[in-house]
Chain A
Amino acid sequence: MSRIPTHLRTAEIVFLIAIGGFVGANLRHVLSFLIPGLGGTFAANVLGCFALGFLVYEAELVGVVARETSYVAGTGFLSSFTTYSTFALETVQSAPLVGLGYVAASYAVGFTAVLIGRSVARRLAEGI
């Protein structure tokens, strides 16, 4: 489809993901100051789940967002804004009951946020 050489295309994708990642991780760090403790990671993960849920289903149902945008926003920004490693380490470092509640809440609210993102994308698709 495109006549751009493969290695230039790869370089472009790498560049787009790196830019998104730069911003996403910094925003997660800012949230950890605004909401101290487990709440900062929780908020970043849930917000990111909603936004990525929307993006993924938007791509499937509507398709207005360009592929390049989804590299910056999805693969770069949102996947870096959310984190599994900090979530897992915080779980281990918490008291057992708190850790269990943290996992249960992150999973339950995170999956629900994806579903809400999906329903927003569906509404958008119906409106077109």
Chain B
Amino acid sequence: MVDPAYLIGAGASVGAVLRYATGQYVGGVAGKRSFPYATFTVNVVGSFVLASLTFLGAGEDLLLLAGTGACGSYTTFSSFSVDTVRLWEAGDRTLAAWYALANLLGALFGIGAAALLTGAW
């Protein structure tokens, strides 16, 4: 029996570093565009993975490690909110609104896809 704090922490360390790596990669691919693709990507992918784990009925330990830890840390609400406020204050108000909506739609789409693929829906 592993202490939940170690499971969550180990998963989170990997998730946080993967988020950083995704940001470096996506930032390189889409660096000159004003839409914050990096945060959008992690939020959609992380939602898909968390939903898949949940729908597949992952056990408690795996959910703590990969769900609460890795997916919870891979995705981020704080960077998303700061991105949105920065777009808004830069005058890109339509883009800010679209970005806020796109994160939600993307995450819901990811969860829907997970439901379909796992047969939960």
Contact = CB atoms under 8 A, between A and B. Distances in A.
Interface of A: 13-14, 17-26, 28-29, 45, 48-49, 51-53, 56, 75-76, 78-89, 91-92, 103, 106-107, 110-111, 113-115, 118
B77 interface: yes
A26 B69 CA distance: 8
Main secondary structure of the interface of B (DSSP, over half): helix
Contacts of A83: 71-73, 75-77
Interface residues of B, number: 48
A75 B72 CA distance: 13
Given A111-B84, A114-B82, A49 B15 contact: no
B77 A45 contact: yes
Contacts of B36: none
A24 B82 contact: no
Interface of B: 4-5, 8-17, 19-20, 42-43, 46-47, 49-51, 54, 64, 67-69, 71-82, 84-86, 100, 103-104, 107-108, 110-111
